[in-house]
Amino acid sequence: MRQTQENLAAFLMAGLLAQTAAPLVARQAPQMPLAPGRIRVTTELVLVNVVARDKKGNLIRDLKKEDFTLLEDGKKQEISAFDFENVDQPLTAAAAEATVSGTAVAGAVLRAGKKAAPSLDARDRRLMLFFFDFSAMGPEQIDRAVDAAKSFVSTKMQPADLVALVSLATNLRVDLDFTDDKAKLLAALSAYTSGEGQGFDNDATGSAEGTAETGGSFTADDTDYNTFSADRKLLALQSIMQSLGKLSQKKSLIYFSNGISQSGTDNQSALRAATAAAVKANVSIYAMDLRGLQAFPPGGEAQVASLHGQSAYSGQSVLNDVNNNLSSQETLATLASDTGGKSFFDSNDFSGVFTRVQKDTSAYYVLGFTSSNPIKDGRYRHVKVQVNRADLKLDYRSGYYADRDFEHLNKADREQQLEDELAAQLSQVDVPLYAGAAYFRQDDSHYHLAVSLVIPGSQIPFVTEKDKDNATIDIIGQVLEGGKFPVGRLRDTVKLTVESTQQVRRKNVQYNTGFVLAPGSYHLKFVVRENQTGRMGAFEMDVQVPDLRKVPLKMSSVVLSSLRTPVTNRKVGLNPLVRDQMETVPNITHVFAADQHLYLQYEVYDAGKSKNHVPAPSNGQGDAAKTAAAKAPRDSVRVLTSIEFLQGGLKVYESKPVVTNEVAAPERKAVVLQIDVLLQALKPGLYLCQVNVIDDVAGNFAFPRFPVLIREAPPASGAKAGK
């Protein structure tokens, strides 16, 4: 029987917050300052790109606005804006009627502010943005990307092409705004060096069977709550879409990458939100895998350390490498196919992507309309375009997602909105939300899955009432077994009341809960809504609850924390993170300040028992000796543990070993291990934290690893500064 346990407490945790922008919708929204007798008018303009071809596939360039009929959900819409983009033959382009292109002089687009109008005359120009994802590239992959871009600029770039350069390493940078100056482009590309990338894999960390012993197996991160590699890349894409959405023309984003591997801790809602933002901004993503053709030798490539165990000899290591490669390409393929672009994999010729972009953006019509449906329900609206010539074939996107409105919803509608968002395939990500999960065994067939949700306090608008700031957060979530069958559910409203608005905005709001589950694969989704503006955020992840009966060392997840809080009014027996009336609050971001403590908590089960070891009788004692040994009290428990910090593959810190001989939770047969590391002993920077666990009696061991970011301690702010 599966049960759900809810923790109704919300924690405010200190942290530096990064600002994340919401996806941009293509809009025609004149902003006028409010004044007596003046009204602000905002209309949302929906743009549809249409490519017309005859039966032979030739492009048709002579259609007028009157030739088109546009339907939304079967209802005819008035085409309020019409334009024809004729990139190949700019001198023969048709005259624009109420054009949505704009006539501004050439200038910056990507570096303009969020509310700034586009300062670029992009009419009859091909807009191409090169996005170099250096965050996980090795030096040779960076050289391939730069050489491919240089070759295009030097030999195949046409006069109508406008190219911009954006890169992501430790930060997202606009290296060059849209320009047709080849000299500037080549100079900016030449400035990229092999040192731009981190050179780390996206694969799982650790030193278990079939995994290389390396200290550089995670992607560097420089934000507080966004420590997940895939989420960081997808949020970077969304940020780019916000700038590109200010131009109505079709844009092509060429994504130079070595793959995006989404793990169970990455937000799958972010992937769908990124593709939706690209569609709204008229951006097609062309993804290119810079790894090219790959061979997977059994022992690993020359630059990878030796593997553990027998996987190199059984063929399992090659199978793992192939599966990891396909998984990282799958995310790129999704981004490309859902935005009308194309993916380019398993080829050492990187010129094909540029040719495809030029072909796809030769000539197209831009139709703009304001929907006659004023309801902002967030539903998908189907778009159909017809032309008065029967011999033509039209290519266009099939629809879009409408915006959602919160202000006019009643209580029942607001509750239904949460339910709809929980069931929606395309979730909102206006409020950044992150989640982490850790499992602990309750008995042989049930596990407690501790779940933590984190929201940046800066994302919650507060209203002042009686000198206190008040806000409420609605939380809804569910657990699906195998992604289909609901086995757990969460619904709660959390009220936050603190003395200082600024205090909350400098911290994270953390909500902890838990579920009791059997071993298996689960899909978790959580939705939060702040109830001042109605903005919502969602987080989805896949979690594997293992069957520890099948592993040599039976060990729980490792929880990293910087905070322990007293517990007085809670059922402590249901939560493994509560020991001696103190609760360890998980830090799912793995970001700590240099003046903090790093608390680690984990458990080892059935210590002293070996999976394959059966005590043999000696001196001919036979079955009587076996029976006596089985009935004897089990006092042979000896678990050793220590903590190491690695940087660049080198050990820079190791704690003193801790030896435990006590089963602290006999009802769960658990040896509870709690370690306290004072981070002042380490310099600020990125580390790989390795937890060494050895069952000395059974001869089993494990060495799980985690990325940890240590930041400078915040400066004291006068006499009132303190914990």
Which of 31-45, 319-333, 487-501, 687-701 has the lowest average pLDDT? 31-45
Rounded to an integer, the average pLDDT of 112-117 is 54
Which pLDDT tens digit goes with each residue over 395-431? 887 777 677 667 666 787 788 888 888 888 777 888 8
Which pLDDT tens digit goes with each residue over 78-113? 999 888 887 765 433 344 443 333 333 345 667 655
Bridge-based pairing state of the strands 68-72 and 399-401: unpaired
List, in order, residues 6 or more apart from 356 with CB less than 8 Å away: 286, 342
Which of 43-57, 152-166, 706-720 has the lowest average pLDDT? 706-720
pTM over 0.85: no
Which pLDDT tens digit goes with each residue over 448-457? 999 999 988 7
Rounded to an integer, the average pLDDT of 134-145 is 82
On the question of pLDDT at 702 being above 60, the answer is: yes
HEC letters along 365-402:
EEEEECCCCCCCECCEEEEEEEECCCCCEEECCCEEEC
52 beta partners: 394
Structurally, at CATH architecture level, domain 553-715 sits in Sandwich (2.60)
pLDDT at 365: 87
Residue, of 477 and 426, whose pLDDT is higher? 477
On the question of pLDDT at 43 being above 60, the answer is: no
643 in Cβ contact with 692 (< 8 Å): yes
Hey, which of 35-44, 536-545, 711-720 has the most confident mean pLDDT? 536-545
Residue 574: band (very low, low, confident or very high) from pLDDT cuts 50, 70, 90: confident
Which pLDDT tens digit goes with each residue over 278-334? 878 888 889 888 776 655 566 555 555 555 555 555 666 666 666 666 666 777 888
DSSP-assigned letter for residue 624: H
Burial letters 339-357, b for 16+ CB under 10 A, else e: bbbbbbbeeeebeebbebb
Hey, which of 64-73, 212-221, 495-504 has the most confident mean pLDDT? 64-73
Token look-up 């509560």 returns 578
What are the backbone dihedrals phi and psi of residue 626, each rounded to the nearest 5 degrees, phi first? -60, -45
Hey, which of 14-23, 259-268, 670-679 has the most confident mean pLDDT? 670-679
DSSP-assigned letter for residue 300: -
640 in Cβ contact with 663 (< 8 Å): no
Q: Per the structure block, which two tokens stand in for 54?
A: 């005859």
pLDDT at 228: 55
On the question of pLDDT at 265 being above 70, the answer is: no
Rounded to an integer, the average pLDDT of 632-642 is 75
Structurally, at CATH architecture level, domain 125-361 sits in 3-Layer(aba) Sandwich (3.40)
pLDDT at 613: 44
pLDDT at 101: 34
Neighbours of 606 (CB within 10 A): 22
138 in Cβ contact with 196 (< 8 Å): no
pLDDT at 120: 67
Average pLDDT, the chain: 74
Question: Of 568, 561, 548, 646, nearest to 601 (Cα)?
Answer: 561
HEC letters along 531-586:
CCCCCEEEEEEEEEECCHHHCCCEECCCEEEEEEEECCCCCHHHCCCEECCEEEEE
pLDDT at 407: 67
Hey, which of 44-58, 357-371, 385-399, 481-495 has the most confident mean pLDDT? 481-495
DSSP alpha helix (H) spans, 40-198: 139-155, 182-190
3-class state of residue 142 by DSSP = helix
Domain ranges of the chain: 1-16+421-550, 26-33+41-117+364-402, 125-361, 553-715
pLDDT at 386: 92
On the question of pLDDT at 138 being above 50, the answer is: yes
Rounded to an integer, the average pLDDT of 349-357 is 81
* Same fold for the pair 1-16+421-550 and 553-715: yes
Question: Of 595, 680, 608, 611, nearest to 637 (Cα)?
Answer: 608
Element (H, E) at 420: helix 411-423
Residue 226: band (very low, low, confident or very high) from pLDDT cuts 50, 70, 90: very low
pLDDT at 219: 31
On the question of pLDDT at 505 being above 50, the answer is: yes
Give the angle 382-387-388 at the CA atoms, nearest 5°: 140
Residue 209: band (very low, low, confident or very high) from pLDDT cuts 50, 70, 90: very low
Match domain 1-16+421-550 to its CATH number in 3.80.30.10, 3.40.605.10, 2.60.40.10, 1.10.357.10. 2.60.40.10
